[in-house]
Amino acid sequence: MKRVVLFLATNLAIMLVLSVVLSLLGVDGRSTTGLLVIALAFGMGGSFISLLMSKKMAKWSTKAQVITSPSNGMEKWLMDTVASQAQRAGIGMPEVAVYHADDMNAFATGASKNSSLVAVSTGLLNNMSKEEVEAVLAHEVSHIANGDMVTLALIQGVVNTFVIFFARIIAGAISSALAGDDEEGEGLGMFAYMGVVFVLEMCLGVLASIIVAYFSRIREFKADEGGAALAGTNNMVGALKRLSNSSPSHLQGEMQAFGINGGKTFSELFMSHPPMEKRIAALQGR
């Protein structure tokens, strides 16, 4: 529930800020050009504002504890392992955190390669060998090194822009056709416009989520390859096999997209992660 409230509050704040900025700039949403500017502002702007806030929001929503000074051998090993992998991957040292959760998972987030976060669950630390944990960490470091956070934010922003723009263009045409020349028709046209925008954004949003999920699955294969290069193919395969028998991920949104263990869904089209058997097969066929 807390994550849902956080998601809604964050997006409401983003929309409010962008609305004020566009109003001050005098952007007229009644013209096609003005509508495109608004769609770009809300589509791309919202996506990248969320990216900039991602690390702070991830730490808050999962209550992840960032390791600043290792208090035990496991924390020191985590820090040393991530530091070594980050150096080999050519990125800045990420923040390393642990969050309490029974499911075996980890995620990476952050707005840039040199300002990122790698977090692992206590469930993962308690149920995996060090070799498997090392492979999971390498997978997340590879996400960062590949620039996947920015790439998916860009893709999400583009599809959001198209959803906002075309929903309103189509709704405007329907509204104008219904309005006619009389005042009663104008009222009906405006009512139809609002209703059609809502329906079209829902339908186009489903198509947009399929596109984003497709690119997310591609990036997962790349992160697995990077993890295998940093921690060894056998360790990466072993970690994925262990995860294939684990409980579904409880991470949401961007954290789920960049977690090692994706959530379950009714169709592969909507999955942010490829099925484990396909990921294992891809690594074994390298």
Q: Is the pLDDT of residue 153 over 80?
A: yes
Q: 3-class SS at 64?
A: coil
Res 30: pLDDT? 58
User: Of 140, 220, 225, 254, which one is the catalytic site residue?
Assistant: 140
Q: Residue 119: what are its φ and ψ, rounded to 5°? A: -125, 140
Alpha carbons 87 and 153: distance in angstroms, whole number: 25
Greater model confidence, 268 or 65 = 65
Given pLDDT bands bounded at 50, 70 and 90, which one contains residue 166? confident
Alpha carbons 10 and 268: distance in angstroms, whole number: 28
Expressed as residue numbers, the domain containing 84 is 2-284
Greater model confidence, 2 or 145 = 145
Query: Count of domains in the chain?
Result: 1
Q: Considering the entire predicted model, what is its pTM? A: 0.82
Q: Is the pLDDT of residue 90 over 80?
A: yes
Both tokens of 96, joined, read 């390393």
HSE (side-chain half, CA atoms, 13 Å) at 135: 21
Res 259: pLDDT? 67
Query: What are the CA-CA distances from residue 174 to residues 89, 190, 207 (Å)?
Result: 53, 10, 21
Q: Is 140 among the catalytic positions?
A: yes
